[in-house]
Chains A and B, each alone.
Chain A
């Protein structure tokens, strides 16, 4: 690491006497090279006031995944703080101090775990140094716990008493800091309630949509129903006469808004051409939006049509695509060997929307500089990458980044949608035009029509089982979507996919169909659909081989090995086998006596550095109404930081996975999205919730995030259970379209 170690820490006494510690560390996992988080130094703050209150700044945006609680827990643990003494404050958005403040890819915990520990450990060493001076004893006789430094004789001083002197202690070299023995943890691994629970339960949380700025106007924005269409004219006089409306105008499309320093979002968040309506309350501008009559130039608009895509995919399914893995030597021979049993299955999964509970919104205040002063911009929004809101201001209006201030607020859901800044570009453009602060709020229809969807797709699967009931050949054709030949986010198979790394006699090919409809990251991108296909098909093969599914699946894993030693993004078959066995054991799979019409279904998936196996128990009646009674989840994500938060993420993933597979589908017709709101894009309700039984293997795996990896195995676990209950195989989602109703 090319850093001057001695300069890593800066220390200063804060008002009222106390310790303020700033730590600068390189991104602990930059070498993992995940696309979502830029490699940049991280900076964090801890403050200890003389009265003993410990303030810890939570650097990363909160969207319900619990990082505002989990990251400070790690610091507090290493410090030896009592959690009750800790106050967590959301850090301001400032990459010069805190590095890239992003949340995505379940990478917040793995990226920050060691940095947070170093932060806590160095604070602890400085407190111990202070106690050693004041108590006149050796450092090694001192221990920090319960917000005190305690001497072996029993004498002690509180962190509050030590704070001022601690601030004058030399800052330890972060490379030689020792971490606590995990067996002595008192905070990490326990259940800690979310630090914002009280404000949430009393309605006082400030989300982006709640922002109120003096002199603020309200805006709505209407884009062409067919993606890519451009507004030419509209019934301006009529709209401007409506109650509460103060202005209405056309914005031209602007691709510059979509330029991003983050490769994965570059080119996506463009400003779409449309009509802005400004007024003095949200309802006035929503009401006006409903009365808009816009003439669109649809010549550049999308012509995407889902039924045509399905047709096209079916036609090319059996032909295979371009190789994405070197084919095994005898794939064709085994598939045509008359002694083998062969299964060929075509799977389909739809486009789905993010539908964050809080619709997209952004408040912007663009101020023209007076008398030669530069223009300035202030933005308020909930975003997974709030600071990137600056890019629209820089790229569209030539602003200097230092003249833009971003305020990051809690997000009413992110799921990948709030990584993009199309809505920020709209709000900034409207404020620029009217010269006033403005809050742009999307309607739910805006949100669904203009989403960056989870991409749909198809897979044609073919495999041979030999006379010993073993897998002899595997032939997988993934039919996904691309734009100018490049796969859209979430489409295509990842290089670390099970079939890519673990199966020898396999052919894996891929075809991309062109699509205009914009796609983005949706909770466990790629994995959430491929898991359904892969794990359903493996169950089909176990059935064909007349083998026990769990045993067959474990056999496919082969010997216990790591495909890339020590790399957390790589499948480890040993860990896979362990979670499969645990899920089997805890669910009673293969043992439990089940009533008629009830079945257990198993699935495993590896993604986001997590090995997860699930068993669903599902009952199905004669009319194909099914109820998911229980889901057993076995997870290896290494040590758990916040047990309550971890279980919460898994429960949420199960519900989200079930809701999506059961009833959600986005379709387009001639470029238009056909779903508008929750009346035709439904969401699962409380009555359908299964019991969820979670088991962790807390291995020495690097701790990793749980926002995503429990979702992918859910769909195949449920459809495999339906097969076990009824003998009916479901190969397309959502199940509502296959005639199965979740009750």
Chain B
């Protein structure tokens, strides 16, 4: 067991953990934040996707000892009470079925939109390739990502006009 200091959603946590323990289980079992899901444990399904230093990572294969920067989970994606545009779009498009994969889907999409405010279908296919949805909500995921992107573009257009 070793001690680790983790920045998660802007808060500092001290945890005692085996160096090999994946970040996923530290978040879920030690920090008791369960929005990040377990689906496979081998970086195949994307249910466990979080951001580390802003980049999407499969937390099920990332040992806590290798975490190199601040972590954002689905619980930390919104800005206080203000939802992330993706979360609003997910609700509007009625994306979730069982909902289990959706934290991971939204985190992967958020990383995409952070670097690409106007993703094409091909950009979405690529950025979301590590996440699957057993319920098959892909049609709506794609539509919701485009809608969320249009929020940003509406903002820039408004600014340009001003």
Chains A and B bind each other: yes
Contact residues of A with B, CB < 8 Å?
A: 63-66, 191, 193-194, 196-198, 200-207, 209-210, 212, 218, 243-244, 281-284, 286-287, 355-359, 410-414, 441, 443-444, 644-645, 648-649, 651-656, 659, 677-679, 683-687, 689, 691-692
B91 interface residue (CB < 8 Å to A) = yes
Q: Which residue of A65, A287, A679 contacts B42 across the interface (Cβ within 8 Å)?
A: A679
Q: Which residue of B92, B102, B138 contacts A200 across the interface (Cβ within 8 Å)?
A: B102
- Other A-B pairs, 8, CB within 8 Å; known A197-B91, A648-B140: A198-B87, A203-B35, A212-B34, A283-B21, A357-B47, A413-B98, A655-B138, A686-B131
The residues of B that contact A444 with a CB separation of less than 8 Å are 39-42
B101, chain A: closest CB distance, angstroms? 5
Q: Once the chains bind, are A283 and B91 in contact (CB under 8 Å)?
A: no
Known contacts A201-B106, A651-B136, A659-B136; is-contact A64 B97 (Cβ 8 Å): yes
Instruction: Please list 8 pairs of residues, one from A and one from B, whose beta carbons are closer than 8 Å in the complex, sorted by A's number.
Output: A64-B97, A64-B98, A281-B25, A283-B29, A357-B39, A357-B101, A413-B135, A685-B128
Complex CA distance for A691 and B40, rounded to whole angstroms: 28
Contact residues of B with A, CB < 8 Å?
A: 1, 18, 20-22, 25, 28-30, 32-42, 44-45, 47, 73-75, 77-78, 83, 86-87, 90-92, 94-103, 106, 124-126, 128-129, 131-142
Q: Once the chains bind, are B98 and A677 in contact (CB under 8 Å)?
A: no
Q: Once the chains bind, are A206 and B41 in contact (CB under 8 Å)?
A: no
Complex CA distance for A197 and B137, rounded to whole angstroms: 13
Closest to A658 in B: B136
The residues of A that contact B35 with a CB separation of less than 8 Å are 202-204
Known contacts A64-B97, A283-B29; is-contact A687 B40 (Cβ 8 Å): no
The residue among B1, B21, B92 with the most chain A CB atoms within 10 A of its own CB is B21
Known contacts A283-B25, A359-B39, A678-B40; is-contact A653 B98 (Cβ 8 Å): no
Dominant SS among interface residues on chain B: loop
Q: Which residue of A358, A414, A679, A684 contacts B132 across the interface (Cβ within 8 Å)?
A: A684
Known contacts A283-B25, A286-B41; is-contact A200 B136 (Cβ 8 Å): no
Q: Once the chains bind, are A282 and B29 in contact (CB under 8 Å)?
A: yes
Q: Once the chains bind, are A203 and B134 in contact (CB under 8 Å)?
A: no
Q: Which residue of A63, A191, A443 contacts B98 across the interface (Cβ within 8 Å)?
A: A63
Complex CA distance for A645 and B106, rounded to whole angstroms: 20
What number of A-B contacts does a CB cutoff of 8 Å give? 193
Complex CA distance for A693 and B94, rounded to whole angstroms: 17
Q: Once the chains bind, are A412 and B42 in contact (CB under 8 Å)?
A: no
Q: Once the chains bind, are B92 and A410 in contact (CB under 8 Å)?
A: no
Q: Once the chains bind, are B99 and A651 in contact (CB under 8 Å)?
A: no
Q: Once the chains bind, are B142 and A686 in contact (CB under 8 Å)?
A: yes
Q: Which residue of B29, B77, B97, B125 contacts A686 across the interface (Cβ within 8 Å)?
A: B125
Q: Which residue of B86, B87, B99, B126 contacts A410 across the interface (Cβ within 8 Å)?
A: B99
The residues of B that contact A218 with a CB separation of less than 8 Å are 29
Closest to A683 in B: B132
Q: Which 7 A-B pairs have the closest CB atoms?
A: A203-B35, A655-B136, A412-B100, A64-B98, A203-B74, A64-B97, A200-B99
B114, chain A: closest CB distance, angstroms? 17
B102, chain A: closest CB distance, angstroms? 5
Q: Once the chains bind, are B34 and A206 in contact (CB under 8 Å)?
A: yes
Q: Once the chains bind, are A196 and B45 in contact (CB under 8 Å)?
A: no
Complex CA distance for A282 and B30, rounded to whole angstroms: 10
B50, chain A: closest CB distance, angstroms? 10
Q: Once the chains bind, are A210 and B34 in contact (CB under 8 Å)?
A: yes
Q: Once the chains bind, are B42 and A677 in contact (CB under 8 Å)?
A: yes
A409, chain B: closest CB distance, angstroms? 11
B125, chain A: closest CB distance, angstroms? 4
Closest to B45 in A: A678
Q: Which residue of A194, A204, A686 contacts B96 across the interface (Cβ within 8 Å)?
A: A194
Complex CA distance for A692 and B75, rounded to whole angstroms: 32
Q: Once the chains bind, are A200 and B18 in contact (CB under 8 Å)?
A: no
The residues of A that contact B37 with a CB separation of less than 8 Å are 207, 209, 357-358, 412
